[in-house]
Structure 1
């Protein structure tokens, strides 16, 4: 139980990777705050954690794209009031409408995707930094995509958001490194049998892909003491060994 007494907030906790991370971290004793706009999905991962014997999680229904700055701040204030400090923040929420040529990319889809994948990560990180800094050590983990560094055709707003997110994570890591309290890293999960992967590659043979729970050890590593001092890194799950 290497994460006992650690409070970790997870966005997109009702999704495939977010739920996988939430369950893995809770099994190690973490008190997880589950953030997602879908209450049924939150309830599903809540039940999975409780049934696995993890600490009872907290569900926080929240629309990353639609929330105001004041609502983001209210969330941060509520977490500080309840826990006093925060030891982890996992940005796992992702929006991908479809792979689309730029020539026909809808403006509404472009804006919504950037709001969820990039702007929300900025806002949430900013309002939670004071709460994270109240911990002796804390970890922020962003979730990118293996296509980000390839600038893959048709990846549209999703591809742009992940390219920008990796840059944002590096800037934040450099700004916080001197303080020695908060480490910031980016996880590239690689091809796994996730709902998002199924949406992008519906004809792919998913039996050849690793299951999502294969990422559990990496999620635990990024939030437990083993990763202290590791910051500003892009960690590719396919090439990473513990």
Structure 2
């Protein structure tokens, strides 16, 4: 499942899941554009890819929640000008502070979570569709959460954003299916030992959880030719790995 000559953009590339995805995709030959609002985290992922012998990635510090529409468009224009085409986008960035009842939510915190988890995905897709359509085939992969999909109490803005994100992915997949160029799927990682999981469940035995690297086969599949024709699907990474 070689990804040679493929260019893939990853949001949250400095995070646990985004970093694991970056290493997996670069390990198959993909060239990457790494997006994150933390330069030190970006540099850590960059260094790991280079140390493993992967293609030198492009770092793009970017604040998904704070950027303007014009800045999103500038990023898309820069990618089009430099590379011509984009073969994939992985939406891995996530905002989660803590479990909290709706009654206690502050408007600012609610809006920030929705901006990172949902609105950024919309804006990125909208500005990047032309450069994705310039590729022969391209893949968009969203990241969801199995517990949030159940409308779990106290999941708040995080839960709402994940429920909405799956709906957005389904709508986008249906709109793009007839053209046959861009496939759109959603990955549900399941419980893994990630920074978000540690924040959400601090008392959990992390030694019993799989590492983020366990998701690498699913990431490679979703961006490789092996998934051509697969669109509008929700992929459970834990089942996939088995």
Q: Same fold (TM over 0.5)?
A: yes
Q: Distance in 1 between matches of 2:148 and 2:176?
A: 24
Q: How many residues align?
A: 242
Deviation at 1:97, TM superposition (A): 1.2
Q: Residues 97-128 of structure 1, C-alpha deviation per residue, up to 9 Å, x if partnerless?
A: 11100111111110000000000000000000
**Residue pairs, 1:186-201, within 5 angstroms:** 186-201=186-201
CA distance in 2, matches of 1:97, 1:83: 36
Give the secondary structure class of the aligned counterpart of 1:240: helix
2: distance between equivalents of 1:240 and 1:54? 25
- TM-score, normalised to structure 1, is 0.99
Q: Does 1:203 align with 2:203?
A: yes
Q: Does 1:69 align with 2:69?
A: yes
Q: Which runs of 4+ in 1 moved over 4 A?
A: none
Matched, 1:166 2:166: yes
2:87 match: 87
**How many Å separate the matches in 2 of 1:34 and 1:99?**
29
Give the aligned CA root-mean-square deviation in angstroms: 0.9
Whether the aligned pair in 1 keeps the contact of 2:215 and 2:241 (CA below 8 Å) is no
Q: Secondary structure at the match of 2:187?
A: strand
The answer as to 2:122 corresponding to 1:126 is no
CA distance in 1, matches of 2:149, 2:66: 29
Partner SS state of residue 203, structure 2: coil
Q: Give distance in 1, aligned partners of 2:34 and 2:3.
A: 16
CA distance in 2, matches of 1:173, 1:17: 23
Partner in structure 1 of residue 115 of structure 2 = 115
Offset at residue 239 of structure 1 (A): 1.6
Structure 1: gaps of 5 or more residues = none
Deviation for aligned residue 1:241? 4.6
1:51 equivalent in structure 2:
51
Deviations 1:163-214 (A, max 9, x none): 0000000000000000000000000000000010000000000111111100
TM-score (norm 2): 0.99
Q: Structure 1: how far apart are the matches of 2:129 and 2:148?
A: 26
